[in-house]
């Protein structure tokens, strides 16, 4: 049976989501981020050298990277579900969105996350100043592209996959995910 090594508030939620969609049995091993650094605990390094989540173990294999995990699960257990036939325009679109999530979409989201956390760790007197500098940096890094991404999502994704109902499926500690 697949074991999902799940870190709270992480991309690992996507793997749980996929397994639920496929109706597959799986085990979850939970790991908690350090409250201050937000890093994963060292126990995850015993599963995979990078010590990041998601990572799954199955039949003697240890598989990391969200996209690779999704491909592995669909190839081995999907029986053709949730993946369009090879060499079709739909498959090309599927591949595009699979890689988009960790490629073009992730860079601005991570920049926003990292920069917006900096002020909280700054010394008290400088916090306000650093806060406004970081706000500007985030705006510059994000704003000019945000509209472009939103339009892509809106134009490409069917209305049924956009609604708030999907978010209810998330674990309570994962509802802050982008």
- Positions touching ligand GSH (CB under 6 A) are 7, 10-11, 39-40, 52-54, 65-66, 102
User: What is the SS3 assignment for 13?
Assistant: helix
In angstroms, what is the minimal distance from the CB of 41 to ligand GSH?
A: 8
- Residue placing its CB nearer to ligand GSH in the complex, 54 or 134: 54
In angstroms, what is the minimal distance from the CB of 101 to ligand GSH?
A: 8
- Residue placing its CB nearer to ligand GSH in the complex, 154 or 167: 167
Query: Going by C-beta distance under 8 Å and a sequence separation of 6 or more, which residues neighbour residue 120?
Result: 127
- Residue placing its CB nearer to ligand GSH in the complex, 2 or 7: 7
- Residue closest to 15 by CA, chosen among 81, 86, 64, 51: 64
In angstroms, what is the minimal distance from the CB of 45 to ligand GSH?
A: 9
In angstroms, what is the minimal distance from the CB of 93 to ligand GSH?
A: 20
Rounded to the nearest angstrom, the gap between the alpha carbon of residue 42 and the centroid of all alpha carbons in its chain is 20
- Residue placing its CB nearer to ligand GSH in the complex, 158 or 172: 172
- Residue placing its CB nearer to ligand GSH in the complex, 8 or 131: 8
Distance (Å, rounded) from C-alpha 42 to C-alpha 152? 38
Beta strands 26-31; 55-58: pairing state: unpaired
In angstroms, what is the minimal distance from the CB of 14 to ligand GSH?
A: 9
Question: Peptide bond preceding 86: is omega within 30 degrees of 0, i.e. cis?
Answer: no
- Residue placing its CB nearer to ligand GSH in the complex, 54 or 108: 54
Let me know the angle formed at the C-alpha of 163 by 157 and 165, rounded to the nearest 5 degrees. 135
In angstroms, what is the minimal distance from the CB of 103 to ligand GSH?
A: 10
Please return the burial class of 176, using the count of CB atoms within 10 Å of its CB with bins 0-12, 13-18 and 19+: exposed
């Amino acid at each position: 049976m697949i074991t999902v090594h799940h870190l709270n508030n992480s991309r690992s939620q996507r793997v749980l989501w996929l397994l639920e969609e496929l109706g597959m049995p799986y085990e979850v091993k939970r790991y908690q981020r350090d409250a201050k650094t937000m890093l994963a605990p060292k126990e995850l390094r015993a599963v995979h050298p990078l010590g990041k989540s998601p990572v799954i173990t199955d039949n003697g294999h240890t598989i990391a990277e969200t996209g690779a995990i999704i491909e592995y699960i669909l190839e081995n257990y999907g029986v053709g579900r949730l993946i369009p036939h090879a060499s079709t325009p739909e498959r090309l679109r599927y591949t595009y969105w699979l890689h988009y999530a960790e490629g073009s979409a992730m860079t601005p989201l991570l920049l926003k996350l990292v920069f917006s956390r900096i002020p909280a760790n700054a010394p008290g007197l400088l916090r306000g100043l650093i806060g406004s500098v970081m706000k500007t940096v985030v705006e510059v890094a994000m704003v000019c592209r945000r509209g472009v991404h939103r339009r892509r999502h809106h134009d490409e994704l069917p209305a049924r996959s956009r609604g708030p109902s999907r978010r209810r499926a998330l674990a309570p500690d994962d509802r802050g995910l982008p």
